[in-house]
Amino acid sequence: MKHLLATDGLDPAFATAVLDTAEELKHTLLGREVRKLPTLRGRTVITLFYENSTRTRVSFEIAGKWMSADVINVSASSSSVNKGESLRDTALTLAAAGADCVIIRHPASGAAQRLSGWLAEAGTAVVNAGDGTHEHPTQALLDAATLRERLGSFEGRRIGIVGDVLHSRVARSNIHLLSALGAEVVLVAPPTLLPAGVESLPVTVSHELDAELPALDAVMMLRVQAERMHGGFFPSAREYSIAYGLNERRMKLLPEHAVVLHPGPMLRGMEIASAVADSPASAITEQVRNGVHVRMAVLYHLLASEGAAA
């Protein structure tokens, strides 16, 4: 059984195959009135979300539906989880009911990995749609798809990841994927928002955004994850924004070809100014669009390609 749990240790050949399939799917569906392929007909995909989501949940649902899978959405707030059911029992119930794939978002780091162990016997594939502060692999894949589309290749490209790296599963997944694909990753953050052990990651670290911008091919702004902060990580929102926000003045420091990314949800005026988010350099809407094709490609490689479980 194949799963997609993390980009740390993910085979770059598999990641490239997903990006290639996503690109192919995008071209196949472009301009079509009926965006429906029969590939996953008869397959059941369940999204199981214990945390809020707009983009990820919707794009997995659309991805499954465009591949003709039956997609069912379960959110913790409206399921038996609210009655005290454990994650294991919920997962085994979904597998027994016929799930071929469970896409899980959970506040605990490692939840997707645990789930894959419990569901191994049932032969149900697991996709990690964000586990705590650990990983969000499909976000990194859709970011990579967007960067490849805009920049052509990863080799020798310098990508800045800016802001709340400490609490960001998006940052962690991107660090591993982008470096495995050949890009150089620079983390730009205040010391309080960098994870312990950052020296062991394949990155360089800076605290000075202005100094880094002229040499970046892309800059990925992160949301300040207030819901995961239990203490003062910076003096005030205003000071954070002054030091690490991407405003119009800063955008002018970037090379002309540079791409601006944000995984969403954006805090406009905090980590990114509206004028930047809505500028031609911004690929934020394109990230969402590519998210659907990348998630279709992931479902294809886990459930339908040669070697996937029959």
**Which tokens belong to 70?**
């039956």
Question: Which regions of 151-201 does DSSP assign to beta strands (E)?
Answer: 158-162, 184-188
The correct pick among 57, 169, 293, 301 for binding ligand ASP (CB under 6 A) is: 169
CB of 39 to ligand ASP, least distance (A): 27
Nearer to ligand ASP, 223 or 295 (CB): 223
Helices (H), the chain: 12-29, 55-66, 87-96, 111-118, 137-151, 169-180, 209-212, 237-244, 248-251, 274-277, 284-303
Is 41 annotated for ligand binding?
Answer: no
Q: Any known ligand binding at 148?
A: no
- Residue 232 annotated as binding site: no
Residue 291 makes contact with ligand ASP by CB under 6 A: no
CA distance 104 to 231: 28
105 is in an annotated binding site: yes
Q: Which residue is nearest to ligand ASP (CB)?
A: 223
Does 264 help bind ligand ASP (rule: CB under 6 A)? yes
Instruction: Count CB-CB contacts under 10 A for residue 96.
Output: 10
- 262 sits near ligand ASP (criterion: CB under 6 A): no
Is the Cβ of residue 148 or residue 172 nearer to ligand ASP in the bound state? 172
One residue of 25, 112, 170, 298 binding ligand ASP per CB under 6 A: 170
Tell me how far, at minimum, the Cβ of 33 lies from ligand ASP, in Å. Answer: 31
Pairing of strands 44-49, 70-75: parallel
Count Cβ atoms within 10 A of the Cβ of residue 310 and give its class: 0-12 exposed, 13-18 middle, 19 or more buried.
Answer: exposed
Which residues, other chains included, contact 16 with Cβ-Cβ below 8 Å and sequence gap of 6+? 181
Distance CA 291, CA 261 (A): 13
- Residues 36 to 95 in contact with ligand ASP, rule: CB under 6 A: none
- 70, containing H or E segment: strand 70-75
Binds ligand ASP by CB under 6 A, chosen from 130, 137, 163, 190: 130
- Name the minimum Å distance from CB 98 to ligand ASP: 27
Shortest gap between Cβ of 304 and ligand ASP (angstroms)? 26
Backbone angles phi, psi at 236, to 5 degrees: -160, 160
Hey, what amino acid is at 158?
A: R
By rule CB under 6 A, what count of residues binds ligand ASP? 8
Q: Which is nearer to ligand ASP, 44 or 287 (CB)?
A: 287
To the nearest whole angstrom, how small is the minimum distance from the Cβ of residue 51 to ligand ASP? 7
Answer for which of 3, 43, 148, 223 binds ligand ASP (CB under 6 A) is 223
Tokens of residue 233, six digits: 């990580």
CA atoms of 280 and 4, how far apart (whole Å): 32
If binding is defined by CB under 6 A, does position 136 make contact with ligand ASP? yes
Shortest Å distance, C-beta 264 to ligand ASP:
6
Q: Which is nearer to ligand ASP, 95 or 185 (CB)?
A: 185
3-state helix, strand, coil in the chain (%, to 5): 45, 15, 40
Using rule CB under 6 A, residue 263 touches ligand ASP = yes
The type of residue at 288 is V
| Rounded Cα–Cα distance for residues 159 and 144 (Å) | 11
CA 286 from centroid of its chain's CA atoms: 14
Could you list the residues that contact ligand ASP (CB under 6 A)?
130, 136, 169-170, 223, 225, 263-264
Query: Which residue ranges make up the annotated binding site for L-aspartate?
Result: 83, 169, 223
Query: Which residue ranges make up the annotated binding site?
Result: 55-56, 83, 105, 136, 139, 169, 223, 264-265
